[in-house]
Amino acid sequence: MQDYLLPRGRRTLAVASGVLALAVTGLGSQARAASFGTPTLSLSAAYLSGAVGASGDPVAKVTVAQSGADAGALTVTKSSKTSVATTSDVTVTGTGATRQVAVAARGRGYTDLTVKITGVDGETATKTLHYAASAAVQQAADSRYFTGSSDASAAVDVGGGYAVVADDESNALRLYDRSASGAPVKTWDFSSNIGVSKEIDIEGATRVGDTIYWTGSLGNNKDGEYKSARNTVFTTKVSGSGAATVLSYGGSYGKLRDDLVAWDEAHGDRYGFAAGTAGGQVPKQIDGFNVEGLEFAPGSTTTAYLGFRAPLAPAVTGGKALLVPVTNIDKVIGSGATAVFGTPIELDLDGLSVRDLRKNAANQYLIVAGSWAADDNSDPYALYSWDGDPAHAPVKRLDLPTSDPGGWESVVDVPDLTVPGARAQLITDDGSADLYGDGTEAKDLTHPEWKKSRATWFTIGG
C-alpha cells in the first residue's frame, strides 16, 4: 500500500488490490465527536449503460448522508474488477450530498462498480452499480443513446431539443432530450384510452399543429397472425414544448387496414393487399403488408401518405417503394369515417422500401429507405430527399452505415436541405441486437436501463 499526503494534511489516498479509496480522516471539531452515525448512500439507478468511445453517456447520481456530520465531509469511492472499466475509467464529481458517477468504458460487456462512502469517523457504506457497455460505433461523437427501450420505431420533434419516441414492442411514448444519452424525461401509454391490451406495433408518426398522428404497422405479426391492436391509428394532442411537453389522448381508428384491402380489391388487386394480410402471411416479405411511414402531403393537413415497407411495387427484386395517400385522415380519426385513398405513388429507391418519411414546413422530405426483409443488420440503408411531387424522383443523399447494431427506423425532423452543413438526427431500432456480447437480444434484456436505441446526427445539407 502507498499513502499520499494531499493538501491541508487531512485526506489519505489509499491504493490497494485495484480499489481506489479516498477517505476523510478528520475535519476540525467533527473528527473529535464521539459518534456521527452510520453513513448512508442511495443511487438514482442500480443499472447503467454506456458505450465504448461514446460522448455524453448517462451518469448515476449518488446521494450521501451521515447523521451529525456535514455531507460535504463524505467522499464517494469506486472500484471495478473487470476489463470493461477499471477504477481509472470512473469519475466522481460534485460536492455535498449529491455526486455523480460517470464511466468511460474501455470494453464491451458487464461489470459491477462498487460505490463506497467513508464517513468522518471511518465508518463506511457501499452500493453496487451494475454497468453494461456496448461496443464503439461509427460517428460515436454524433451519437446518443435513448435508454429504457431498445425498439425505437418512430419519432416526432416537440421543440426545445426534445422528441417523443415510439416503441414497436409496447405502446409507450417516451420524451427524450435529443442532445443527451439517458432515460426518458416522461412516458405516456394510451392503451386504455384506445381500448387495446396488446402492442399496436407503432411504426409511423407525423405532426400537424398540436396533433401527432401515430400508426401501427397494420400488418400481421411475425408469425403471420392477425392481431387487431396492430390495425390502429391514433392521435395525441401536444401542449407545451421541450422538457415541459405534455401529451393527451385525441382519438383512434381500428379499420384502416380493412379499408386499404377493400380499396385495393376494388382497383384490381393491384398491390395484393388481400393476399399480404391473409392468415399465415408474414408481413416482412417482398409481397407482404407492412406500413412504416406516415407524413402529410405538401401543404395539406388532411391528406397523409402511408409509406409501405412491404409490398414493393411490383413485388419483385428492384421494385419501387409504395406510398398510398389517405385523403381524409382528419375525419378518419376525428369521426371514424371510412378512409378515402388517392392515387398511389411509386418511388424509385433502388429496390429499397420506406422505413420512415418526414418533411419540414418547406415541404422538403427525407425518406429513410431500407429492405422489406427482417435481417436489418445486413441489408443496405440509405437516406433520400424528395419534394413531395409524385412526378419527381427522390435523390439519394447518403448510404447509411450498416456495420453497427440496429436498423435505421426514424428521422426526427428535417432541416433546410439547401443549407450547407445542415444535419438530421436518425434513430435505430436495436431490439434484435446483441449489444453487450452475451447473446441476448436487447429487447430481452432484464433491465430497462440496459435497453437502448442509438440516435445519430448526419450532415446532409447543401
CATH of the domain at 46: 2.60.40.1080
What pLDDT shows up at residue 14? 32
Lowest mean pLDDT among 8-12, 50-54, 287-291: 8-12
Which pLDDT band, with edges at 50, 70 and 90, does 442 fall under?
A: very high
Residues 200-208 have a mean pLDDT of 98
Q: In the listed set 134, 169, 188, which residue is the last one of a domain according to the structure?
A: 134
Q: Indicate which CATH number applies to the domain containing 315.
A: 2.120.10
Q: Looking at the chain, how many residues does it have?
A: 462
CA distance 340 to 324: 10
- Give percent of the chain with pLDDT exceeding 70: 89
Strands 290-296, 172-177: pairing is unpaired
CA distance 269 to 430: 35
Residues 6+ apart with CB under 8 A from 157: 163, 178, 207, 412, 413
Q: Do 15 and 108 fall into the same domain?
A: yes
Residues 6+ apart with CB under 8 A from 322: 271, 307, 308, 311, 312, 313, 344, 345, 346, 347, 353, 354
Which pLDDT band, with edges at 50, 70 and 90, does 7 fall under?
A: very low
What pLDDT shows up at residue 393? 97
Residues 145-153 have a mean pLDDT of 97
Q: Do 130 and 178 fall into the same domain?
A: no
What pLDDT shows up at residue 74? 57
- Give percent of the chain with pLDDT exceeding 90: 78
Lowest mean pLDDT among 5-19, 161-175, 217-231: 5-19
Which pLDDT band, with edges at 50, 70 and 90, does 4 fall under?
A: very low
What pLDDT shows up at residue 93? 84
What pLDDT shows up at residue 39? 85
Q: Do 116 and 158 fall into the same domain?
A: no
What pLDDT shows up at residue 76? 59
Q: Do 160 and 250 fall into the same domain?
A: yes
Q: Do 114 and 182 fall into the same domain?
A: no
Segment 43-90, tens digit of pLDDT: 999 999 999 999 989 999 988 887 666 666 556 566 665 789 988 898
Which pLDDT band, with edges at 50, 70 and 90, does 35 fall under?
A: low
What pLDDT shows up at residue 33? 44
What is the number of helices (H) and of strands (E) in the chain? 4, 31
Angle, CA 330 vertex, CA 210 and CA 389 arms, to 5°: 90
pLDDT greater than 60 at residue 233: yes
Which pLDDT band, with edges at 50, 70 and 90, does 364 fall under?
A: very high
Residues 412-423 have a mean pLDDT of 96
Q: Do 172 and 124 fall into the same domain?
A: no
Query: What is the widest separation between alpha-carbon atoms in the chain?
Result: 91
Q: Do 324 and 451 fall into the same domain?
A: yes
Q: Across 29-38, 63-72, 299-308, which has the greatest mean pLDDT?
A: 299-308
What pLDDT shows up at residue 123? 82
Bond preceding residue 298 cis, omega within 30 of 0? no
Which pLDDT band, with edges at 50, 70 and 90, does 38 fall under?
A: confident
pLDDT greater than 80 at residue 264: yes
Q: Do 441 and 364 fall into the same domain?
A: yes
Segment 329-341, tens digit of pLDDT: 999 999 999 999 9
Q: Do 118 and 243 fall into the same domain?
A: no
Q: Do 408 and 307 fall into the same domain?
A: yes
The C-alpha cell 419519432 sits at 155
A 10 A CB-CB count for 40 gives 15
What pLDDT shows up at residue 69? 62
What pLDDT shows up at residue 261? 98
Which pLDDT band, with edges at 50, 70 and 90, does 11 fall under?
A: very low
CA distance 251 to 357: 22
- Count structural domains, the chain: 2
Q: Do 264 and 373 fall into the same domain?
A: yes
Segment 367-409, tens digit of pLDDT: 999 999 977 667 899 999 999 999 999 999 999 999 999 999 9
What pLDDT shows up at residue 77? 67
Task: Identify the sign of the CA torsion 118, 121, 122, 126.
Answer: negative
pLDDT greater than 70 at residue 438: yes
Residues 6+ apart with CB under 8 A from 293: 203, 204, 305, 306, 307, 308, 323, 354, 355, 356, 357, 367
CA distance 332 to 385: 29
Q: Do 308 and 453 fall into the same domain?
A: yes
Q: In the listed set 108, 134, 160, which residue is the last one of a domain according to the structure?
A: 134
CA distance 262 to 259: 5
Q: In the listed set 94, 112, 134, which residue is the last one of a domain according to the structure?
A: 134
- Reading the block at residue 175, the C-alpha cell is 420524451
DSSP-assigned states of every residue in 374-442? S-TTTS-EEEEEE-S-TTS--EEEEEEP-SSSSEEEEE-----TTSTT-EEEEEEE-TT---SSSS--G
pLDDT greater than 50 at residue 17: no
CA distance 107 to 320: 42
- Reading the block at residue 365, the C-alpha cell is 422530405
Task: Give me the domain span that covers residue 147.
Answer: 140-459
Across all residues in the chain, what is the average pLDDT?
Answer: 89
